[in-house]
Amino acid sequence: TADGALMFLPSEAVYAELHANFPELVREGFAARVWIVSPTTCMATLNTMRAILKDARMREQAGAIRKELGLLSADVGRLVERVNNLDRHFHQASKDISEIRISAEKAGRRARRLDNFDFEELAPDPVSDAVPLSGPDRE
């Protein structure tokens, strides 16, 4: 069963007479959770009841909403931490690539110097530069 009921009076005159001359009856209706409505007040009463029920549902769900907001906040915190970690790794990788590039350029310069080096000028003459070894049987 429902917690309350609407009693519809199809005549505005009867509704006005009831409220003007029988206030005890109207109070008893409220006490019994029976709301007397007329053609003019019916929609306003229904809209008010709908707003009250919606507000009650929102209050019931407020705890669940708070819990979900807490979980969302924790998720965002983890996301920020992971983005910071990834950013730190990218900066380290960028630094490593820069250092590798410097080493590669140095190695390339040394290789080019070796390409330009004339080994023929420095090669010793195999016969003319020979120095005899002195030993007991050679002197």
Q: Exposure string (b/e) for 87-100, b if CB count within 10 Å is 16 or more?
A: eeeeeeeeeeeeee
> What is the per-residue DSSP string for 5-44?
EEEE-S-HHHHHHHHHH-HHHHHHHHHTTEEEE-TTTHHH
pTM for the model stands at 0.42
* Dihedral of the alpha carbons of 18, 19, 25, 26, in degrees to the nearest 10: 130
Given this model, what pLDDT does residue 35 score? 94
The mean pLDDT value for 94-119 works out to: 90
pLDDT at 76 over 60: yes
- Domain boundaries along the sequence of the chain: 62-117
The predicted-structure confidence for 124-137, as pLDDT tens digits, reads as follows 665 555 566 665 66
pLDDT tens per residue, range 10-69:
999 999 999 999 999 999 999 999 999 999 999 999 999 999 999 999 888 998 999 999
Which structure tokens are listed for 51? 């707003």
Q: What CA–CA distances, in Å, run from 58 to 47, 71, 119?
A: 16, 19, 90
Largest CA distance in the chain: 156
| Residue 129, CA atoms < 13 Å, CB-side half-sphere | 5
